Amino acid sequence: MKIFISIDAEGIAGVSDWEQIRSSGDDYALGRSLLTRELNAVIDGVLMADESADILVNDSHGAMRNFDPAALHGGASSLTGRHKPMYMMEGLDASFDAALFIGYHGSMGARALLSHTYNPRAIWEVKINGEVVGESAINALVAAYYQVPIALISGDTDTIEEFINWAPDVTPAQVKQSITRFAALSLHPEKACAILKEKTAQSLQRDLRALRVIPSFGPQITMEITFLTADMAAACAVIRGIELDKNHKRTAILTGDDYLAVFRSFVGVVQITRSLVE
């Protein structure tokens, strides 16, 4: 079994503030520790399902260097570093049997803890075919392109509910409940890790190909990306396939029938707007 893990940080139990998950934060050491514990619990769950599993972990949060690769269980390989062409989905291809989304958060505008969509200083909202989406559904474009099942997603209640609309049979692993965007009720880290280990194993012991865990976005994708300012949308119009919404100057529209190409263009949008605000 070959497993791909994309791990974010906002959906980790015990995390409730940016200071815990930014490298410059005064509580970053705690956030890293909590993230590493949950990641290893997931890896242990994979190994429960298949003790010889080949595991790749993509560090998908911030500068993408949030754990010590030597601390990973089970000989898992890791992808770290912030300049990745496929961003949070770097490394995934059709050779994988399943993908796991760990520590994910909800879309900008959702009540989910620390909610945002890739870059909260630039992107206000993203829609796919008229539906508001977060990073989970956007990243699922890559899994759908390669036809890799998404077996499990972990995080808070709102985040999980947002993604289940796209993959009804995904195994949910709720480790916290958002109270507001900056407060959450979390399970004790030990309990969260126990749940993640158990649910990961269970998610991979199913016949994933017979379940609704590969999102279908239809034959044609229309992605609407609304920015904080009109100049950000205009800057992204240089990317092939992107047009400005004539009625909403802060919105850029990306269309296509190639899921991977749409995702790549979106990553280009993220990189362009990130350079405008950093």
Whole-angstrom distance between the N-terminal and C-terminal Cα of the chain?
40
Name every residue whose Cβ is closer than 8 Å to that of residue 51 and which is 6 or more positions away in sequence.
Answer: none
The single-letter DSSP state of residue 254 is: E
- Bridge-partner residues for 221, per DSSP? 256
Average pLDDT for 237-243? 90
Where along the chain do its domains lie? 2-109+135-210
Average pLDDT for 157-162? 95
Give the whole-angstrom CA distance, residue 1 versus residue 271: 33
| Number of other CB atoms surrounding residue 247 within 10 Å | 6
pTM over 0.95: yes
Average pLDDT for 230-237? 94
Q: Where are the beta strands (DSSP E) in the chain?
A: 2-7, 54-59, 77-79, 98-104, 123-128, 131-132, 150-156, 171-180, 183-186, 221-227, 242-244, 251-256
pLDDT digits over 165-207, tens only? Answer: 999 999 999 999 999 999 999 999 999 999 999 999 999 999 9
pLDDT recorded at residue 129:
97
Confidence of residue 109 (pLDDT cuts 50, 70, 90): confident
pLDDT digits over 2-25, tens only? Answer: 999 999 999 999 999 999 999 999
pLDDT digits over 25-56, tens only? Answer: 999 999 999 999 999 999 999 999 999 999 99
Question: Domain 2-109+135-210's class?
Answer: alpha beta
